[in-house]
A and B are shown apart, each in its own frame.
Chain A
Amino acid sequence: MTRKTRRLWLVIACVACLGTAATLVLRAFSSDIVFFVTPSQVAASPPPKDRTVKLGGMVVAGSVHRERHGETPVATFDVTDGQAAVSVHYEGILPDLFREGQSVVAIGTANSAHDFTASEVLAKHDETYMPKEVAEALKKSGKWDPRFGPPPSAASWNSMTVQDARKDMTAPAAAPAPAQTTTQPAP
């Protein structure tokens, strides 16, 4: 074994040891590294009332109630992970991206298993990037409602919207019907 080979194995061994150590540490602290807890975790074991918790999940469609108490806007909405829902109460201005169906992280305290008071609400957006026109076309054609989940796969956007555009173009020529009826797709 030459000196270079020995050095190579030494380097490989050191990196392997270090990698293993890092993996073990990260596994051990996994529950502390997560940025937020899910509603089902809160429902299963409600955290102590004096502890600040970050609650992450999707805003349930139709659950948002906005009011004004004097100058401050007050919002109540449900956050779900699909298994449990927690009702969040928040005084303050919600971020621009906040909407029904959006993922949010509410920072605050849990009053009970299903009741949460937030001092701060962050909007979390997903990894989908979609032009406005495509989103409008998908929503209009009824193929996607942002309130009820993620959009269809990006590969299908083009074919879907092009089909709709063709339908829009050919339909009025074939039968001069009102625009509203032609844009409604056959189920």
Chain B
Amino acid sequence: MSASPTLVARTGSFFHRYANPGRFLKLGARLQPWLTWPAIILTLTGLGWGLFFSPADWQQGDSVRIMYIHVPAAMLASGGYAGLAVCAVLSLVWRHPLADLAAVEIGPVGACITALCLATGSLWGKPMWGTWWVWDARLTSVLVLFFLYLGHITLIRAFDDPQRGYRAAAILALAGAVDLPIIKFSVQWWNTLHQPDSITLTGAPTMSSSMLWPLALSTLGISLGFAALVLARTRAAVMESRIQALLSSPRRNQGTAA
């Protein structure tokens, strides 16, 4: 306990260095091309390799190629929500203004990628399992994640005073983070129709390396693309708020009145 106040203060000052909008915009402008271009190149390479050049699965045939979109989408659906939860802690504890702006921008991107994960999963399930949808633990917990995203998007924009919206949405994001371990471990804790993970931190992947490489490339590419989108949207939001501040500043109002 004796060390924690200094640690809290230090963490706060580290993050607050980038709370300055000018510094954030400068850093963001430099970072943006390093995210955008590798994202485009890696995604196109990974998807092209996966969709056209990787081998077909011995029992799933060509349907296995949905994996190269479905798996990165699923990882980012969870990853994006983890990002929301981190923003929520930064917002609730340190009142970090950029964390709130980032949370506003992560929501729609995350919801889209979760929808993509659900849609591709459904398209994959029909030919392989024989059904578009089942209420097993994995599928249901991801659907809950989608609704959490929708709730967050709505809540953060629901108040006239944005600060109240930020607070409420941060609490929702933290509470909803309980769903993330449920999604991750649902296939181990309960028997599900969805198969367990092929790629784990502890074990060797149960996948041929000729499929693993394109999957790794497209996952990296789509992750960078997610980050690039969120960064671009957050930069735009910061610029927008600056312009709003300029437009509503008293000096300008005097100028137009005169």
Considering only CB atoms and an 8 Å cut-off, how many residues of chain A contact the other chain? 48
| Interface residue? B220 (CB, 8 A) | no
Given contacts A2-B9, A128-B198, A153-B206, contact A123 B174 (CB under 8 A): no
A1 to B9, CA, bound (A): 11
Given contacts A22-B178, A123-B130, A129-B211, contact A33 B196 (CB under 8 A): no
B145 to chain A minimum Cβ distance, whole angstroms, is 14
Contact, CB under 8 Å: B129 / A95: yes
Contact, CB under 8 Å: B174 / A122: no
| Interface residue? B64 (CB, 8 A) | yes
Chain A positions near chain B (C-beta within 8 angstroms): 1-2, 4-5, 7-8, 11, 14-15, 18-19, 22, 26, 30, 33-36, 38, 56, 95-97, 99, 105, 120-136, 146, 153-155, 157-158
| Interface residue? B241 (CB, 8 A) | no
Residues of B within 8 A of A14 (CB): 174
A34 to B193, CA, bound (A): 10
A14 to chain B minimum Cβ distance, whole angstroms, is 7
Chain B positions near chain A (C-beta within 8 angstroms): 4-5, 8-9, 12, 55-60, 64, 67, 89, 92-94, 127-131, 134-137, 174-175, 177-178, 182, 189-193, 195-198, 204-211
Contact of A130 among B57, B177, B193 (CB under 8 A): B57
Contact, CB under 8 Å: A122 / B131: yes
Residues of A within 8 A of B136 (CB): 35
A131 to chain B minimum Cβ distance, whole angstroms, is 3
- For this complex, 26 residue pairs linking A to B, each with C-beta atoms less than 8 Å apart, are A4-B9, A11-B174, A22-B182, A30-B190, A34-B191, A35-B134, A35-B137, A38-B191, A96-B128, A97-B59, A97-B129, A99-B59, A120-B130, A120-B131, A122-B129, A122-B134, A123-B128, A125-B129, A128-B198, A128-B207, A129-B67, A130-B207, A132-B57, A135-B58, A154-B209, A157-B208
Residues of B within 8 A of A34 (CB): 137, 190-192
Of A35, A36, A133, which is in contact with the most chain B CB atoms at under 10 Å from its CB?
Answer: A35
Residues of A within 8 A of B92 (CB): 7, 11
Contact, CB under 8 Å: A129 / B198: yes
Contact of B207 among A2, A96, A129 (CB under 8 A): A129
A136 to B41, CA, bound (A): 34
A134 to B55, CA, bound (A): 10
Given contacts A7-B93, A122-B131, A123-B128, contact A131 B55 (CB under 8 A): yes
A37 to chain B minimum Cβ distance, whole angstroms, is 9
A157 to B206, CA, bound (A): 10
Residues of A within 8 A of B137 (CB): 33-35
Contact, CB under 8 Å: A125 / B60: yes
Contact, CB under 8 Å: A131 / B9: no
Given contacts A8-B93, A122-B193, A131-B58, contact A15 B174 (CB under 8 A): yes
A1 to B136, CA, bound (A): 46
Contact of B209 among A11, A96, A99, A158 (CB under 8 A): A158
A128 to B12, CA, bound (A): 45
Residues of A within 8 A of B175 (CB): 18
Residues of B within 8 A of A7 (CB): 92-93
CB-CB nearest 5 A-B residue pairs: A135-B58, A131-B55, A95-B130, A35-B136, A129-B207
Of B136, B177, B204, which is in contact with the most chain A CB atoms at under 10 Å from its CB?
Answer: B136
A123 to B209, CA, bound (A): 25
Q: Add 16 more A-B contacts to A35-B190, A129-B208 (CB < 8 A).
A: A2-B5, A8-B93, A18-B175, A18-B178, A35-B135, A97-B130, A122-B130, A123-B130, A125-B59, A125-B129, A126-B195, A127-B195, A129-B67, A129-B211, A131-B208, A132-B56
